Each structure stands twice: as structure tokens, then as C-alpha cells.
Amino acid sequence: MSNSFDYRFDRSSYERPNNRFVCGRATEWGKPCGRGPNGDGTCGGTAECQPFNRNGRWECRRAPQDGGPCADGPGPDGVCGCSTPPCVPRRSMRQLRWRATVIFVGLAIALIAVFTQLTTSGDIFAGSARLAALDAGDLTGSHAGFTGAKGCKTCHEAHDAAPTGWLRAVFGKNDLSGQCVDCHKFGGPADRPHNAVFAATASNGKTGKKTECTMCHTEHKGVDADISTLDNKQCAACHKKSFSTFDRGHPKFSKQFPHFRRTSIRFNHASHLNKNFLKPEVKDKAPASCTTCHQASSAQRSVEPLGFEASCAGCHDDQISKRNLVVLRLPEFEESSIDKEAVLEACGPVADEEEEDEEFESVSGEELNSVGAFLMNVESDDPEAYSEAFQNLLMAMAEEGTVPLGGLLEQSAETANPGTMFAGLNPEAVKRMACAWARNQEYELPAEPQYGGWYGDIVDLIYRPSGHADPVVKAWLEMAISAKSDDDDVTERISDMREELLSARDGAGACVKCHAVTQDTEDGPLRIEWNYHKDTGQSYQTYSHGQHLSLVNPQGVKLADPTQGCATCHKLDQKADFASGFKDFNPKTFSSNFASLNKQACVQCHTEGRVRQDCQLCHDYHKEPGFTDRVTRNEN
């Protein structure tokens, strides 16, 4: 066994691994010197000891572990007699570790510096947007196109800022959501849950918890990343009614679901399917299936009807043109104050002029019609009240044709548009008719009108609708329904006019026979629902009829078999009093033709192990999401 295994203090040197250098001889597996390298890295072992001068004599001070004092001793000049050639000390492991650490830190800092310079428009790797220390990853494809030249600054305001700007950003709050709403807009406040302040919250005088877009949408996850996904647990964070899955604990659908208001068209499915379509005379015109009338293949929540021409015209087209609009009716006069000379001047002579001395007998025995009474602002059943006004109107019409009618309309209804409401009315025809009435004669129609349009007939000025969605009739009905006054008498005349024009049975164009007249709020205005009503009240629900239709019957729905197709979910409620829903103007008081939907209908498929049943399948988070015009302008 080697002696060097003896670790006694006087037989071996004390190792100092903390020293910066180690003996060069040791690194070459030779005999290391006892004294070791100097602190500056030079060899400290060229002499084995540093002789000590005691009383004028130099004494050897070689350490015991190196063999003790040498036999020859120091020279007379005090130089050690055991000199060896110098070695080249090497750095110790600790020193190497320190140097490696410094180098790695330096490399890291250099990496940051280089990457920071390699911005998305960097010259070295131009086009490579990912080579930047600030780039956390690719944006989704839809967002990447809107950063453009402005780059990161589009969303991150502190980007490219001076160090002081960065310092402020570190201790400040980044408003990332503020940048989102530059392009995105919603049907309510962007920073509130579901873009809405719900009634329960508002009733407490609060506006709800503030939300940030980044709570759900985090970018830089790659071009194709889905950054819109929520999960059921997140929904449950606010919705206190907690449940695990749709099929286990989701609240039952409301009793009304999915019918929360009456339809905009008064179409009774039950009576049509069970009675009307079965009549021999219309059987060949009856729809073969629901999809004959409803556009279901691409429908989402609402399955809109295809429109009048495709769905209704086969049976109801000719009914429209039979419901004439009587704008003016010659009423009975007790006496005539019309100046015959003026009539002669305006209308010219006629062959069979009556004798002047005959007692006046009015050619008309009718009352003034409600529209005429409204236009002239007179009582319709009081000849004393309307005679002078009407006879003046007749003279004006005889002289100027349609002009006085337009003037009356503008006086009576501020919002009226005479250009549309009297569109196509021939002034010459009006003159001839007025002249006849002024002479106390019935107006004889030169020929029976075959098509729609204006004409005078005996004592009436009539408009015959040309077909569905006739603009003149629509304009008169809109005027009638929007007219209003503070005067009780005028209000009564307006009411009479509405009763006549908006009568479901005899009203002009038979429009209101099908189109519902609705008053959305108690004090709100009346309106005719000309278009199909999309139910936006349940704005957080989503459903695709198109996808489900292919499941129940790809070929469409056969009415002959009500157990299939649409009837799988939408079952007719034979007992429902559908018509009663249209007796008033409130759209919420109604009876649907169809029974409400039961959750079990959905659970048949949307259950564990079969079809998705997460919240977002049927519910949207945002209310009416859309884009601002900045998107189209693509400003950067």
C-alpha cells in the first residue's frame, strides 16, 4: 500500500479544491509539488521550500509531508537547493464551473439580444415571424391577417416602447380586451358576462362581474388553434345550477320551449293539415312534406318558410286581389253647394245636363268611408260636417287631379308617403271621376279593370292590389297603423280607419288575414309583421335544424307518416286554440300549434357515449357577435 494513503496532517498536504488553479504536474499525472500554484496561476513549486534565516544561518523549511528538511539545505544566498522546473498550472474544476456559468449566462443574454432584434420584419430571417424573443408563437390564421405592418403593437401597446414604457407596462395593467373590441362587437357590453347586464343583476344596482376577452381566448397557440373553446366547468362557475352532463341534471326545458311567442304569420298548421289539405279541390296543391314550405336543409335555429309564392300562392293568391282598398267614397249630400259654373269651367259641358230647378237629390246614399273621413278630418256620418269639405275637395280634384289628395294625406299623417300611397293614380281619371261626382252623377267605369291598380267605380275611388306584397296597400296599411293624434275625435277616426283597413276578413289586400298585428310593449306602437320573425329572445341558444333533418329523414318529411321526420320532435297539438293568439296585439299570449319540446327528445342521442352534450353545443356565450367596420378597412 502506498504511503500517500496515510492522511495524517504531517504526512499529507491539505487539499484546497476551492483554489482557482491546480498543479500542472498533477494534471499530467506526475508528482504534484507540495506548494501548489500561486493565486495568479503561475507555478509556485519551482522550489520545495522557502528557507528561513535564523541567527544568520539559512534553514530548510520543507514540510514534513514532503520529506522534511533536505540533507543539502539551502544555499548560502538563502535559495532552496531542491529546485525543479516550473509547471503550467491548470484551472480547477470549480473555476471551470464558474467560467462555464458565466459563459452560459452571457450566451443567454446574447440570445435575448439577438432574438429581440429579430422581430417579425427582421432582415436576417425576413418572413420568419417566429424568430423573436417576444414572439410567443403563431397567431391563429384569422388574427394573423389583421396585424399587418403594425405587428405586435396591434394588441400589445408596450411593444417597441422605450424602457420607461416597458417599466410602466410591468407595473401597469395591459388592456388587451380594449384592443379586441377594435374589431369585434357584440349586442351588449363587451366586458360583461354574455355581453349583457341581466335583470337580476341590474335590479341590485350592479352591472355584473367585469370580464376580459383573454379569460377565454388566448392567442399564440398556432395557426390552426381553436381559441374559442370553453368547457362545462367554466360555465358552471357562474351558473349556480350545477350538473355534470346534459343527460344528467340539465334543467328541463320550459313549458313553452321552443315557442316563446306567436308566429308572425297566422298559419294554423293543425287546421291546414287535418282539414284544408284534405279537401278534394286543393288536395293536389297541398304540400307533400314540411320541407315543401320550409327551408330546412340549411336552417339553423329558425326554419323559415319559403315565402308566399312557394307556400301559399297556390291556394290564396286570388284572395288578395279581391280585397280592394277604398280610399274615397262619395257620401250622401243633403244639398249641393257646388258652383255649376265652376264645374262647367273645370270639366266642360256635357250632353245630358240636368235642369237647374229640380230639387237636389244626392246620387250617393253612402256614408263617407273611414279613410276619407280621416283624410278630411270630418265626421263620416254627419252630412253637415263633411258636405262642404268633400264638395270643396271634389272641385279641387276636378281642377287639379291628384294634387289635393296628396295634400290631404300630408296634412293628416306626417309620416305618410303620398308618392307610394298614390303611385299609379292617373290625374285625368281622378278629374273625370271628380267631375262626375261634382255633377251629382255616378262615375261610370269605361271598362272593367282586369289587373290591379287605381280606378273609380260609381261612388268609390278604389285601389285593387296587384298581388302579394303590393307596395301601395302596404303603404296605406302602414299609414293606418302608425297614425296617431292627441285629439279624441281624430283618434276615433283613426280607429275606424284601422278597423276597416286591418280587418282580417275584409281588410285591404287581406294582408292582416295572415300577417299578425303586434304591439311589443304595452305602450309601444303597433306594427304589422310583414316578415318572418326570428326569435332572438333566446339569443344564447343555437341549434342546427339542417343537421338534424338528415338524421330523421334525408328525403324530407312525409306528412302521411307523422311518426317520422319533423314530427319526430314537432308534434301537432290538436287541442291548441291557435286562432285565439291573434285576437289581441300581444305576441306573448298565444297557443302554439305544436307541443313544447321535451328534453328527452334530445337525450335520445345527446348522451354519454353517443353524441356531444357539452354546453357550447347548444348555447352561445356571446350575444350577437359581429365585427366593426375596422375589419373591412383593415387598418393597421
Partner 1 sequence: MAASRVRILMIVLASGVIFDLLLLESENINIGLGSAAELTGYWLFGVMVFLTLFNLRKKLSMIPLGPASIWLALHTVGGVLALALFWLHTGTIWPTGIYEQVLVVLFYATVASGIFGYVAQKIYPPRLTQSGVEVIYERIPDHIFEIRDEVEALVLQCTEDTRVDTLGRHYLDTMSWFFRKPRFFLSHMVGSQMGRQWVRQQDANVRRYLNDAEAEFLDKMTELAMLKNGIDLHYALQSIMKRWLLIHLPLTAALMTLSVWHLLVVNVYAL
Q: Binding string to partner 1 for residues 108 to 137, with x set by CB under 8 A, is what?
A: xx-xx--x--------------xxxxxxxx
Stretch that binds partner 1, among 5-13, 76-84, 354-362, 378-386 (CB under 8 A): 5-13
Query: Residue 80's CB: how many other CB atoms inside 10 A?
Result: 21
C-alpha cell at 322: 279581391
Looking at residue 519, its amino acid is: Q
Minimum CB distance to partner 1 smaller for 26 or for 310: 26
Q: Are 301 and 535 in contact (CB under 8 A)?
A: yes
Q: Compute the least distance from the CB of residue 46 to partner 1, in Å.
A: 18
What's the count of helices (H) and strands (E) in the chain, helices before strands? 24, 11
- State how far the alpha carbon of 80 is from the alpha carbons of 52, 74, 368, 372, in Å: 10, 5, 145, 140
Which contacts (CB < 8 Å, 24+ apart) does range 302-309 have?
302/532, 302/534, 302/535, 303/545, 304/532, 304/534, 305/265, 305/267, 305/532, 308/468, 308/469, 309/468
Q: Which residue from 38, 214, 311, 420 is in contact with partner 1, where contact means CB under 8 A? A: 214
Total number of residues that touch partner 1 (CB under 8 A): 62
176 Cβ partners below 8 Å, 6+ apart? 155, 156, 212, 213, 214
Q: Compute the least distance from the CB of residue 249 to partner 1, in Å.
A: 17
Minimum CB distance to partner 1 smaller for 170 or for 200: 170
Compute the distance between CA of residue 587 and CA of residue 260 in angstroms, rounded to an integer.
9
Q: Are 50 and 60 in contact (CB under 8 A)?
A: no
* Sign, CA torsion 29/33/35/39: negative
Stretch that binds partner 1, among 228-236, 353-361, 401-409, 587-595 (CB under 8 A): 228-236
Q: Compute the least distance from the CB of residue 254 to partner 1, in Å.
A: 27
Q: Compute the least distance from the CB of residue 108 to partner 1, in Å.
A: 4
Minimum CB distance to partner 1 smaller for 60 or for 132: 132
The 3 state secondary structure assigned to 565-617 is HHHHCCCECCCCCHHHHHCCCCCCCCCCCECCCCHHHHHCCCCCCCCCCCHHH
Minimum CB distance to partner 1 smaller for 132 or for 413: 132
Minimum CB distance to partner 1 smaller for 10 or for 488: 10
Minimum CB distance to partner 1 smaller for 118 or for 566: 118
Q: Compute the least distance from the CB of residue 612 to partner 1, in Å.
A: 20
Minimum CB distance to partner 1 smaller for 33 or for 320: 33
Find the binding residues for partner 1 in span 237-266 (CB under 8 A): 237
Query: Residue 166's CB: how many other CB atoms inside 10 A?
Result: 12
Partner residues linked to 294 by β-bridges:
305
Compute the distance between CA of residue 595 and CA of residue 578 in angstroms, rounded to an integer.
12
Q: Compute the least distance from the CB of residue 514 to partner 1, in Å.
A: 47
Which of 414, 370, 368, 406 lies closest to 390 in space, CA to CA?
A: 368
C-alpha cell at 228: 374559442
Minimum CB distance to partner 1 smaller for 214 or for 311: 214
Burial of 572 (0-12, 13-18, 19+ CB in 10 A): middle
Q: Which residue from 79, 100, 350, 579 is in contact with partner 1, where contact means CB under 8 A? A: 100
88 makes contact with partner 1 (CB under 8 A): no
Minimum CB distance to partner 1 smaller for 214 or for 538: 214
DSSP 2: -
Q: Which residue from 6, 64, 75, 103 is in contact with partner 1, where contact means CB under 8 A? A: 103
Compute the distance between CA of residue 444 and CA of residue 120 in angstroms, rounded to an integer.
84
Find the binding residues for partner 1 in span 426-465 (CB under 8 A): none
Stretch that binds partner 1, among 56-64, 151-159, 376-384, 390-398 (CB under 8 A): 151-159
The C-alpha cell 506526475 sits at: 30
228 makes contact with partner 1 (CB under 8 A): no
The C-alpha cell 302521411 sits at: 560
Q: Compute the least distance from the CB of residue 266 to partner 1, in Å.
A: 45
Minimum CB distance to partner 1 smaller for 234 or for 392: 234
Find the binding residues for partner 1 in span 24-83 (CB under 8 A): 25-27, 29-32
Minimum CB distance to partner 1 smaller for 65 or for 441: 65
Q: Compute the least distance from the CB of residue 231 to partner 1, in Å.
A: 9
Q: Which residue from 215, 278, 342, 350 is in contact with partner 1, where contact means CB under 8 A? A: 215
Stretch that binds partner 1, among 231-239, 542-550, 561-569, 597-605 (CB under 8 A): 231-239
Q: Mapping DSSP to helix (H, G, I), strand (E, B) and coil, where does residue 249 land?
A: strand
Q: Compute the least distance from the CB of residue 616 to partner 1, in Å.
A: 14
Q: Compute the least distance from the CB of residue 203 to partner 1, in Å.
A: 23
Minimum CB distance to partner 1 smaller for 106 or for 471: 106
Q: Compute the least distance from the CB of residue 138 to partner 1, in Å.
A: 6
In a 13 Å sphere around the CA of 570, the CA atoms on its Cβ side amount to: 17
Q: Which residue from 67, 222, 446, 471 is in contact with partner 1, where contact means CB under 8 A? A: 222
236 makes contact with partner 1 (CB under 8 A): yes
Q: Compute the least distance from the CB of residue 24 to partner 1, in Å.
A: 10
Q: Compute the least distance from the CB of residue 6 to partner 1, in Å.
A: 11
Compute the distance between CA of residue 509 and CA of residue 469 in angstroms, rounded to an integer.
9
Compute the distance between CA of residue 349 and CA of residue 343 in angstroms, rounded to an integer.
9
Compute the distance between CA of residue 413 and CA of residue 483 in angstroms, rounded to an integer.
6
Find the binding residues for partner 1 in span 153-182 (CB under 8 A): 156, 158-159, 166, 169-170, 173-174, 176
Q: Which residue from 79, 107, 551, 605 is in contact with partner 1, where contact means CB under 8 A? A: 107
Q: Which residue from 7, 341, 523, 537 is in contact with partner 1, where contact means CB under 8 A? A: 7
Backbone φ, ψ for residue 162 (5° rounding): -70, 165
Minimum CB distance to partner 1 smaller for 224 or for 488: 224
Minimum CB distance to partner 1 smaller for 138 or for 442: 138
Minimum CB distance to partner 1 smaller for 111 or for 342: 111
Q: Compute the least distance from the CB of residue 611 to partner 1, in Å.
A: 24
C-alpha cell at 252: 328541463
* Sign, CA torsion 497/500/504/509: negative
Q: Compute the least distance from the CB of residue 413 to partner 1, in Å.
A: 53
Compute the distance between CA of residue 103 and CA of residue 565 in angstroms, rounded to an integer.
74
Q: Mapping DSSP to helix (H, G, I), strand (E, B) and coil, where does residue 443 land?
A: strand
Which of 322, 326, 320, 319 lies closest to 454 in space, CA to CA?
A: 326
Q: Which stretches of the chain bind partner 1, using CB under 8 A?
A: 1-5, 7, 12, 15, 17, 22-23, 25-27, 29-32, 93, 96-97, 100-101, 103-105, 107-109, 111-112, 115, 130-138, 152, 156, 158-159, 166, 169-170, 173-174, 176, 211, 214-216, 220-222, 233-234, 236-237
